[in-house]
Amino acid sequence: MFNGKSILITGGTGSFGRKYTETILSRYKPARLVIYSRDELKQYEMGQQFNDPAMRYFIGDVRDVERLKRAMQGVDYVIHAAALKHVPVAEYNPNECIKTNIGGAQNVIDAAIAMDVQKVIALSTDKAANPINLYGATKLASDKLFVAANNTTGGRGPIFSVVRYGNVVGSRGSVVPLFKRLVAEGKTPLPVTHEGMTRFWITLQSGVDFVLKNFERMYGGEIFVPRIPSVRILDLVEAYSGTREADVVGIRPGEKLHEIMCPSDDSHLTLEFDDHFVLRPSIRFYHRDHDYAVNALGEVGRSVEAGFSYHSGSNPHFLTVREILALDKHV
């Protein structure tokens, strides 16, 4: 579905964007793949690695709707990955996070409608479900904007959906690169904020594949959530340092002990499929009459029980230490 198409990815120089680019170029022949981000050095370095004739590097900020419109000329599909995503940074600089994550989301929507884009998928995070930190709250607001955008196009413009997932193994600034560096520098025991902490765990490649698949599944208005395993923080410590001994440094501002992807308050909207969940929109788009229980690929989902939540602490699938290390080879 991506052969001959023009695709734009905001935040294309980030962890997700680079893996997405690698995947698209190895599996498809897109007409154009536009990388949209601010920092020229990251674009320059990415250009050294990815210099396929389809590649286009656009310097631009998602806060700049006119630049987004220019970049989206002739574009078929948009992936919105640009974000400020570090919880403590967002707590300290709240308005900057709001401008990029909420204002930027609305700009992406407005530009996509203005430039007749066909499909848009925005990346979200488990921190957007029952948020307690500003980063999560801005991503929840962004999710709401993308879902509601389907109601503003009169049935003719782009369709918009959201993909929500958990911690990406090895992404920039995440715990695995930190643990590896500390172990290499001999700085053990490793720091953990709380010994009981759990997290959802997904590889970048699985995240990219899930996004690609959802371009085929989407009607617009869905929040897609993959079924993925959880990890216990002390299993991570053991995997990377060889011991369960840890230095407990205390919960950081805005940090949760466990994460949620499908909150129980949304259980009446939640459908389960074989390998993913869908949160249906709570508003009904008057111009589209889709039964989300059968997606555009014909896959059939069913309603979850009332009160169901998809929670990293009660997830039936936890990775063992050995599985964590096996997954690390794919990072």
Which residues bind to ligand NAP, rule: CB under 6 A?
10-17, 37-39, 42, 61-63, 81-85, 100, 104, 123, 125, 165, 167-168, 171-172, 174
Shortest Å, Cβ 165 to ligand NAP: 5
Which residues are paired to 237 by β-bridges? Answer: none
CB atoms within 10 A of CB 283: 12
Shortest Å, Cβ 163 to ligand NAP: 8
Shortest Å, Cβ 78 to ligand NAP: 13
How many whole angstroms separate alpha carbon 231 and alpha carbon 24? Answer: 29
Q: Cβ closer to ligand NAP: 50 or 285? A: 50
- The alpha helices in 60-120, defined as continuous H runs, are 65-71, 87-92, 94-98, 104-114
Whether cis (ω within 30° of 0) applies to the bond prior to 226 is: no
How many whole angstroms separate alpha carbon 162 and alpha carbon 120? Answer: 8
Q: Cβ closer to ligand NAP: 256 or 285? A: 256
Shortest Å, Cβ 41 to ligand NAP: 8
Q: Cβ closer to ligand NAP: 124 or 295? A: 124
Q: Find the catalytic residue in 5, 19, 127, 139.
A: 127
Following CA atoms 27, 221, 126, 114 in sequence, which dihedral angle do they give, to the nearest 10 degrees?
A: 70
The answer to whether residue 85 is catalytic is: no
Q: Cβ closer to ligand NAP: 32 or 63? A: 63
How many whole angstroms separate alpha carbon 321 and alpha carbon 237? Answer: 9
C-beta nearest to ligand NAP: residue: 14
The closest of 249, 262, 261 to 303, measured between CA atoms, is 262
Active site residue ranges: 127
